Chains A and B, each alone.
Chain A
Amino acid sequence: MDFGLKGKVALVTGGSRGVGCAIAQALLDEGADVMITARDPQRLAATRDRLTCCGTAEVHAVAADLEDDDAVRAMVQATIEQFGHFDILVNAAGSVNPADFASLTEAAWPALFEQKLNGYVRCLRHAIPHLKTRGWGRIINLAGVGGREAGAITIPVGLNNAAVLNLTKSIALLMAPYNVLVNAVVPHIIDTDRQDETMRLLAELTGKPEATIREERLKKLPLGRMGRAEEVASVVAFLASERASFVVGAAWHVDGGAYHGI
């Protein structure tokens, strides 16, 4: 299927590793030019060098801390300067950790939404004025099943992802008249370094061995296995494509059937 992405420009946050990196590769494979961004300049540069380009597609990198609104503005500006414009924003940056409610003190609470939501908002804030002028655009927000299903020790995960899903619908309605299609992808338990960290954290928080945590989590997946980053990336690439021209304000789960609702 020709995704019609040749000549399009995508900005992928969280692009230095895991799912973000796989998304960058999938978009490059379809012929899009890609700007990857992440906080750590060394890791980002190493990823940029590792990504392979197809045909005339190019990949560039700009480091940015999404907690800093000025840095986000500069990141968007750098993308426009590099490619002349951009068409696709993929919000894939954010590492939300599970936490015990008692640890979420008055002082800790404001930082909770810095783990994902606020970075997404800043990227949207600076990308939208540009995307609005193009007559064609895509925004894809990576969320998580935690946004649909609450857990006792997953409050930060749940709140950030629920907010991202809600925000996705609002921005979708806002941007539909400009032919900028906004959607969410909802992955769950994807086999990445980040997933290993989550497993370790959950083991610490529950006092259970990591192997037990892993086994319990995998048992809940109807497909019986973790997802691969590429399996999320292919869905993001489709939603970014010309072929998803009537998909608006939707959340496509890529979760191996994990979500209990439908």
Chain B
Amino acid sequence: MDLGLKGKVVAITGGSEGIGRATALRFAMEGANVAILARRPEPLAKTAREVEALGVQVLAVNGDATTDMARFIDETVKRFGRIDVLVNNAGGSGQNAFDKVDDKTWRSDMEVKLYAPIEGVRCVVPHMKKQGGGSIIMLTMSAAASPGANQLPTVVSRQASVTLAKALSKELGAHNIRVNVACVGKIKTPQQERSAKRAGRTVEEHFAAHAKTVPLGRMGEPEDLANAIAFLASSAASYITGTCINVDGGVSGVV
């Protein structure tokens, strides 16, 4: 299906590895020009080269979503003259018991997963309004809709961005700006690999343990998410706004 993404401009935060990288590559395969923001220069440069090799233009911005969002969007618009899609992907999934989460952790989690997307939206909306539309996608975890014990602070900050997306969809619908949330399950990402290391087990052991908890019997690949995100951002999803789409192998307890 032609997703109508050729020549569109897509900005992705946390775009150098994992889901962000796979998303950048998928948009590039669909012919979109891609801007990526990431903190670590090496993975950023590597992903930028991979995107470019697919025959589209790429802008790699080295920076932090919590402090450099305005600069990122500004440079994207300067380079490409427009912005059609913002994917708010940056953010980790710190999970702990309430009494183990200090104030600093709460604040930094909200900074990256709520305030950074807010700043991103603030920056892109004027351009999208001028262009006659656009698509904004938040990433969250499907577990945030059915939070459990020892999942703080991430389920709170994730769910906050869900509420933000719904409210924005109502305000921005009239401008043909769609705002949606992609709800992630357990995906094989470098973040998960680092979690394995912290837990003192091999990546294979870690992935196998997680796979057992997924109805589909496996963890997701970053590409699974990237496909859904690109579809959601595209004109093929033109009547979808203000919704959460689960891409989680069935792990969510609620439909």
A residues whose Cβ falls under 8 Å from a Cβ of B: 1, 3, 26, 29-30, 165-166, 168-169, 172-173, 176-177, 179, 181, 184, 187, 221-224, 227-228, 231-232, 234-235, 237-238, 243-257, 259, 261-262
- Could you give 21 example pairs across A and B, Cβ below 8 Å? A1-B3, A169-B255, A179-B216, A222-B169, A222-B173, A222-B174, A223-B174, A224-B173, A234-B237, A235-B240, A243-B231, A246-B221, A247-B228, A247-B245, A248-B216, A252-B243, A253-B240, A255-B240, A256-B241, A257-B243, A261-B166
> CA separation between A234 and B2, bound complex, in Å?
10
Tell me if B242 and A247 are in contact (CB < 8 A).
no
Tell me if B1 and A227 are in contact (CB < 8 A).
no
Closest to A168 in B: B255
Knowing that A29-B1, A176-B217 touch, tell me 8 more A-B residue pairs with CB under 8 angstroms: A224-B174, A238-B1, A246-B228, A249-B246, A250-B250, A256-B239, A262-B163, A262-B242
Question: Quick check: is B49 within 8 A (CB to CB) of the other chain?
Answer: no
Docked complex: B211-226 residues within 8 A CB-CB of A? 215-217, 220-221, 224-225
Asked whether A235 and B236 contact (CB < 8 A) given A243-B227, A257-B241, A262-B242, the answer is yes
B residues whose Cβ falls under 8 Å from a Cβ of A: 1, 3, 29-30, 162-163, 165-166, 169-170, 173-174, 176, 178, 181, 185, 215-217, 220-221, 224-225, 227-228, 230-231, 236-250, 252, 254-255
Tell me if B239 and A262 are in contact (CB < 8 A).
no
Tell me if B239 and A176 are in contact (CB < 8 A).
no
Residue in contact with A248 in the complex, picked from B29, B163, B243, B249, CB distance below 8 Å: B249
A-B pair count, CB < 8 Å, reads 138
Contacts of A231 in B (CB 8 A): 237-239
What's the minimum C-beta distance from B241 to chain A, rounded to whole angstroms?
4
Contacts of A227 in B (CB 8 A): 239
Contacts of A176 in B (CB 8 A): 215-217, 249-250
Asked whether A222 and B1 contact (CB < 8 A) given A244-B228, A247-B246, the answer is no
Tell me if A262 and B216 are in contact (CB < 8 A).
no
Residue in contact with B240 in the complex, picked from A3, A168, A252, CB distance below 8 Å: A252
Tell me if B245 and A3 are in contact (CB < 8 A).
no
Contacts of B236 in A (CB 8 A): 234-235, 238
Tell me if A246 and B225 are in contact (CB < 8 A).
yes
- Between B170, B225, B245, the greatest number of chain A beta carbons within 10 A of the residue's beta carbon is seen for B245
What's the minimum C-beta distance from A225 to chain B, rounded to whole angstroms?
9
Contacts of A255 in B (CB 8 A): 239-240, 243
> CA separation between A246 and B252, bound complex, in Å?
12
Contacts of B181 in A (CB 8 A): 262
Closest to B169 in A: A257
Tell me if B216 and A237 are in contact (CB < 8 A).
no
Tell me if A237 and B1 are in contact (CB < 8 A).
yes
Closest to A242 in B: B227
Tell me if B170 and A222 are in contact (CB < 8 A).
yes
Closest to B181 in A: A262
